[in-house]
Structure 1
Amino acid sequence: MSSLIILLNIISLIVPLLIAIAYFTLAERKIMASIQRRQGPNVVGYMGLLQPLADGLKLFVKETILPTNANIFLFVFAPIITFVLSLINWAVIPLGNGQVISDLHLGILYSLAISSLGVYGILISGWSSNSKYAFLGSLRSAAQMVSYEIPMGFVLLTVILCVGSGNFTEIVLAQKNVWLLFPLLPLSILFFICCLAETNRHPFDLPEAEAELVSGYNVEYSAMGFALFFLGEYGNMLFMSAFISTLFLGGWLPFMYLSFIPGSLWLGLKICIFVVFYIWARAILPRYRYDQLMDLGWKCFLPLSLSFLLFIAGILVSFDWLPN
Structure 2
Amino acid sequence: MRSVVLALVLAGCSAAGGRSEEPVGTTQVTAALVVAKAAKAAPRVAVAAPAVEAPQPEPAVAEPVAFDAPFTGFGAAGCSYLAPTSEFIGADGAIDVVWHFHAGQMAAADMKTSGLRAVFVSCGYGIGSGGYSSRFEDPNRFGAMMKSLTRMIAARTKRSDVHLGHLALASWSAGFAAVGRILSVPQWYEATDAVLLFDSLHAQYIDLPEDAKLKNKPVAARGADHVDVKMLRRFIRFATDAAAGKKTMVVTHSSIVPPDYASTSEATAALMREVGVATRETSAPFGLPNMTPSVTADEAGLHVRGFRGQGPHDHFDHLHLIGDAVKTWLVPRWSGAYTPARERH
Question: Fold-level match, TM-score > 0.5?
Answer: no
Larger helix percent: 1
Max radius of gyration: which structure? Answer: 1
Give the TM-score normalised by the residue count of structure 2.
0.27
Give the TM-score normalised by the residue count of structure 1.
0.29
